Each structure stands twice: as structure tokens, then as C-alpha cells.
Structure 1
Amino acid sequence: YQGHGLDMTDLVQEGMLGLIRAVEKFDYRKGFKFSTYGTLWIRQAIQRGLENSARTIRLPVHVNQRMRAIARAEREMAALLGRDPTDAELAETTDLPIEEILEARKAAMGVTSLDIGVGEDGDTTLGDLLPSDEPMPSDLAEINDRKLLVRDAVSSLPASERTVLELRFGLTGEDPTTLAQTGRELGVTPERARQLEEQGLRRLAESGTVRSLREEA
């Protein structure tokens, strides 16, 4: 996700917001693996952060609605299947032709940048010619405050639990690790790594920081 509008620090913070949201929504009684479920929410949070920060021409409302429906179905199906669904499976779930799913994805990838220079000298951007819809300073301050709260919540965990969550969900910018890889990194068994992950997630969900974020949402 690097090189698309957010630096590594912001990407990690967006991912942490997704992890906390996953903790709030996760229901172990449904039999899902949290590693799969949490990764999906982290990925979605990062993608949403990139979308919010990008200065791009808005897509038609119906295309945006279709893209959101596809993304929601993709997330729910991945949690059920334990893998990313195929286009055919998405089409069946959303009652959309495969062609429309592919078109929606193509539209998302082909949005025109507003930073492209226009005019004879190229010193005016396309975005300069459109009304500004950037967040107000107060909104940006609130977003930054929430990111700081998330970072504080994770950093307040015991070192072993914090390290496990950082490794398992790639919170420091690295690729997520398996329980076996995490265990090797810490010098413990995969089962112990799983226990530390569970303890950290439970402690995170019960923290006052997460409760305050939930109340504000």
C-alpha cells in the first residue's frame, strides 16, 4: 500500500484502527479464525484511509454503491471461507454479473488524479479547478487524536502481547506472520504465541481507550 498517498506511519495507524474494529466485531462463537477476520478489517481500514486521503475525481454514486457492496460481500465471504472469494462466488452472493464486478474494480483503479497539471504551463492542477472537499482542520485533528489513542492503546500492552500483535497483524509495516513464525521470533511455542495474541486482544478490547472510541463512533 506504500506509494499511494499515505506514508508508512499513517498506514500503520490506519491498520491499528482496523484491528480495534475487528476486536469489537469479532464473535468467536461463529467459528471464524481471528487472524483471517482481523486481517480483513486491517486491510479495509488501510484502503479506506487511502481513499479518504486521495485527491481524486469522484465516481458516480451508483458505482460507489456497487463497489461498497462488493467490498462488504468480499469481507464477509472471506471470513466464512477462510480465503478470498472468487469473482464467481462474489457474483452469486451479490446477484451481480461478473462483468459488473470487474467493471467496478476497474473503475476504482482507473480514477483520474486531480494532481495532474493542466494549462499551458502545467502550473494549475485539475483539483484547483474544482470545489474543495478536503476535510476541515477540526476533522483532521479529530482523526489524528484517534490515531494517537490507538497507538497508546497498543503500546500500553505488556511487551510480549504487544510484540505478538505487531507481528501477527503487521502493525509495524512488515508482512503478518503465522503463529509458528511468531513463536520462533519470540522463542516460544505456537500455542503460547496464540495465548499471548488472545490475551492482548482481550486486553485491548477491554481498555478504556477502545471503549471511548466505541462510544464516539
Structure 2
Amino acid sequence: MHTVEKLNKIKRIRSDLTGTLHHEPTLAELAEACQSPMTDVRALLDWDVEPISNQTPLGEGLADISELIMDDDLPQPDEYATQALRRSDITFYLDALPTRERTILEARFGLLMRMSARCSLLTQHNDERSPDDEQATNRAE
């Protein structure tokens, strides 16, 4: 007998017992009526969980279940606020510096995405230098 058939049998017997006993049957009563071990009946009933909607209201209906589910891929609101404030503070203080010093700090600590573009251009330029340029630089030193 397949699991679904066993589960349907248990549900049918549970419904019959509820009508006969006038209360929800206990696990022991259900197992006895099904002529199955309690562990098997419990395992099958654990599989029979009704899905619920994310929009199921909680409490007095002011919130829903989806608000309880955390998204681990995104920062939590307090983390996001902290990151945004930190980014704002860094930008404020960098803007107060002279251009040369700001550029040095941005390059040293990788603070802004635009710096990674500048650095890649610089690296690309250095890679494209000819051996003659390098020899001239070495002689000058």
C-alpha cells in the first residue's frame, strides 16, 4: 500500500472515530483502529500538513506570516541602516579631503566602485607598456 493510500485510510478512520467518539481521537485510539504502530501513524500524520498562505493574518490582522520569514540574502533593516549611515559618513569625509588624498584613500581601501574602474584602467595601462618604456624607467632610476 502506498503512503498516500495509508494516509487517506488514516484520515478516513479519524473522521469515523470523531463521529463515533464525539471528540478528536487520540493517537493511541487512531493507531488501534488502523491496526498500525503509533510511530507509523504519527509519521504519516506529520506528512499531512496543510499549506498556509503567506498572507495568513497574525493576531488581530495587523501583520501576516510573510513578515516572519527572514531573507538571509538581504541585510536586515538594522544592518542596512548601519551600512547606509556608514557609507554616508565615509562619503561626507572623503568629499572634505583634497582630490589627491581622497583618491589615495579610495584606492588604498577600495571604498568606491568607481575606484575599481580606475584601478583596472591603470593596471591595463601598465600591462600595455612596452619593454622599451620599462628599460627607460630602469635607467632613470
Q: Which category describes the TM-score, using the shorter chain as reference length?
A: 0.3 to 0.5
Higher relative contact order (CA 8 A, sep 6+): 1
- TM-score (structure 1 length as normaliser): 0.22
The structure having more radius of gyration, on CA atoms, is: 2
- TM-score (structure 2 length as normaliser): 0.33
